[in-house]
Structure 1
């Protein structure tokens, strides 16, 4: 509970800069601690003491009275104390380390001064290498736009993901080759968090059956885990039924319209351990539910409640994704519009505790070649961008997608500017 309260408090501080808030909630409960919640806490966030302050004082007194004798008595009997400072003590001298006491935070490996990367003994690599990825594979990956951006992105302080699409390769029978290429990108830089290997999974027309999707997810994750063990894996999709809430007619229609996007089936990718992150698109929330008089705000709230009820965050990370901040051409949101958009599409998902991160498309191009941006062209001034910069406290929870093959100016400039708002970046690899 304390962790959740701290998360909500930090978010509240940042969002208060924009005047964003939601009604508080209270309950006539003797164990309620809702009065400890910050102003603007949403109504469904509930605080309840496991031990009231008075009870906590009694518990502390029990263990601390009489110089903590109760604590001492609770320990294992006949404890063996061996300090190596008494005559006759014999302690090993061949264990790891240099035998010296170091200050907290001080480097204990030569070459790790000032937070740098320690030099490895005998020149070996200091990080887990990919299995089956050769030096030639990594060298080739480093020369690609995504490979160069991976190295540049790590220097900005952003957490870097590799974003690609393996579904088409799976259909073409070339999954292993494609997985090896993207795994080589992830292996070129130790700081790469993971790989997002599919987008709009089940929503687009790539697959025709749910079993085929499950097979793809299983084979893709198996291949990637083998090639780059330890890297996180993610997919992006949309689950329209979640926006219906308790409206059974809506659920029936959404299930019929999107048969491949059953919530239980999608959730199983998380609960079975196949993926570590599930990104849910919010692009359909504004229009999909008009038949049942469910507006965008209610649809999003329904989705958040459904996600929490399924405890998906106990198995992996949930991200919300939104492309609607970016506007085409020179059109820009006003300050009022930008503030409302931030409140509705960033503040609410985080305050509802359904998503750990929110991914914004900061720049994208449609089939006609028209470019939409959150910031101004060539990084010209933008009201929306200025408002997003005010969310510095929750920067680690904000992510974006970047295509290094189509930069706004150049990769270094673009990533530096993006790092002013976002704590994570998905680098697109063709």
Structure 2
């Protein structure tokens, strides 16, 4: 390069330097904005990449960190565990005490990046890149051994405490709004995915749930939904989960009520043998006999039986009143002597912006021929999302409809499931409207 410049005149050297400068000015943005992967080493990290941890960054002062989360593989994509059909490959995300962010691990406790779109859209909450070895909430490392001559002294590691949990502001805010609206308030989460993910994730989820339930005005916790319909592999595992969860929650939350949700497809069949056999074959862990054994396995204060499901199957076998048959079956099982038994109603939510349901649909489920007999009903579907779409009870924008107006006379029996991270308009606005028609609320945490 030196020899090249020595052969040029002074004017040629000036032109050459100017040309190089212009090249740098125009070429640098091209490299800066090149698609990831075009430049070697610039590709985004793979979701399953295993990396090592650098020294922790200073802990953020914000408290708006999401609670323990489990992601599950649902076909070709990752979804939050409460909407997954199975949880064979869980990714568990828990708060790291060093930096206050959520770090995620596989079942084998290997560090991974949270699946898209959590990263990068929520990197103010989740650790989304770089080198990390996760230190999960509830993890107790082996004791250190210090060998001063002539003896060996074992220094035990302190156990984790509830102070390690960072509560989500959205949940705490919703609890406060519901309390101000004079609603009986429950905290709801499904502990099954965390239980399946291992002891560390299960203890973290239990600790988080107990912390929310300790907020003022909380009646109790619902810790399982549609028990054994998915994720658990055997009746023995179902009963083991119930024992572990209720033992821990009774210890952590003395005086609080515990609730579970169950689903018994064959109850809507009545005496139709073809329908009963089809339901048992398709859903072997939620037969009448097995669910009865679950309800009797541990003391539970409330049991919510799923209703409004499997309508196409019942119609196939010519069954016109599955709700009445279901409640007759519940009475025959004798569950009312064990717990307060109510309904978790899934059939009144609509997938569009405007509901087409009317008073006739309400009468079918609540009227004298329904068999409900004044039981409490928990409504699912207020701006609720699952793998098939978004559902509503009201119309879009909290606009009322004929269904919602028909529900008003049943206010004393009604509760609603509310996701504080998915309000229709805003937490305060939504709960204010809901409180006019329901007397109780289940806040998802």
The answer to whether TM tops 0.5 is yes
Q: 1:290 deviation in Å?
A: 3.4
Q: Does structure 1 residue 188 correspond to structure 2 residue 210?
A: no
Q: Does structure 1 residue 164 correspond to structure 2 residue 184?
A: no
Distance 1:348 1:202 in 2: 31
Q: 1:386 deviation in Å?
A: 2.6
On the 8 A contact 2:195/2:202 being kept in 1, the answer is: yes
TM-score, normalized by length of structure 2? 0.59
The equivalent residue for 2:56 is none
Q: Which consecutive residues of structure 1, in runs of 5 or more, have no partner in the other structure?
A: 1-131
On the 8 A contact 1:349/1:355 being kept in 2, the answer is: no
Distance 1:213 1:254 in 2: 19
Q: 1:198 deviation in Å?
A: 1.4
After the TM superposition, list the runs of 4 or more consecutive aligned residues in structure 1 that deviate by more than 6 angstroms.
132-135
The equivalent residue for 1:221 is 246
Distance 2:311 2:401 in 1: 24
Distance 1:398 1:192 in 2: 17
Distance 2:284 2:314 in 1: 17
| Distance of aligned partners of 1:248 and 1:267 in 2 relative to their CA distance in 1, 3 Å threshold | same
Q: 1:278 deviation in Å?
A: 1.5
SS at match of 2:387: coil
On the 8 A contact 1:234/1:277 being kept in 2, the answer is: yes
Q: Does structure 1 residue 376 correspond to structure 2 residue 376?
A: no
Q: 1:202 deviation in Å?
A: 1.5
The equivalent residue for 2:366 is 346
Higher relative contact order (CA 8 A, sep 6+): 1
Equivalent residue in structure 2 for 1:330, among 350, 353, 360: 353
The equivalent residue for 1:76 is none
The equivalent residue for 1:65 is none
Distance 1:329 1:359 in 2: 17
The equivalent residue for 2:263 is 238
Q: 1:396 deviation in Å?
A: 2.2
Q: 1:410 deviation in Å?
A: 1.4
What is the Cα-based RMSD across aligned positions, in Å? Answer: 2.4
> Larger deviation: 225-234 or 340-349?
340-349
| Distance of aligned partners of 1:375 and 1:133 in 2 relative to their CA distance in 1, 3 Å threshold | farther
The equivalent residue for 1:4 is none
Match runs of 1:199-214 below 5 Å: 199-204=225-230, 206-214=231-239
Distance 1:294 1:354 in 2: 23
On the 8 A contact 2:350/2:393 being kept in 1, the answer is: yes
SS at match of 2:438: coil
Match runs of 1:39-54 below 5 Å: none
On the 8 A contact 2:191/2:205 being kept in 1, the answer is: yes
SS at match of 2:311: coil
Q: Higher strand proportion, which one?
A: 2
Q: 1:365 deviation in Å?
A: 2.1
| Distance of aligned partners of 1:349 and 1:149 in 2 relative to their CA distance in 1, 3 Å threshold | farther
Match runs of 1:267-416 below 5 Å: 267-295=292-320, 297=321, 299-333=322-356, 337-348=357-368, 352-353=372-373, 355-367=375-387, 370-389=389-408, 391=409, 394-416=410-432
SS at match of 2:232: coil
On the 8 A contact 1:319/1:359 being kept in 2, the answer is: no
On the 8 A contact 2:383/2:422 being kept in 1, the answer is: no
On the 8 A contact 2:222/2:259 being kept in 1, the answer is: yes
Match runs of 1:2-151 below 5 Å: 136=163, 140-141=166-167, 143-151=168-176
Q: Higher helix proportion, which one?
A: 1
Q: 1:134 deviation in Å?
A: 6.3
On the 8 A contact 2:324/2:370 being kept in 1, the answer is: no
Q: Does structure 1 residue 177 correspond to structure 2 residue 177?
A: no
Q: Does structure 1 residue 155 correspond to structure 2 residue 172?
A: no
On the 8 A contact 2:267/2:326 being kept in 1, the answer is: yes
On the 8 A contact 1:238/1:280 being kept in 2, the answer is: yes
On the 8 A contact 2:365/2:372 being kept in 1, the answer is: no
Q: 1:359 deviation in Å?
A: 2.9
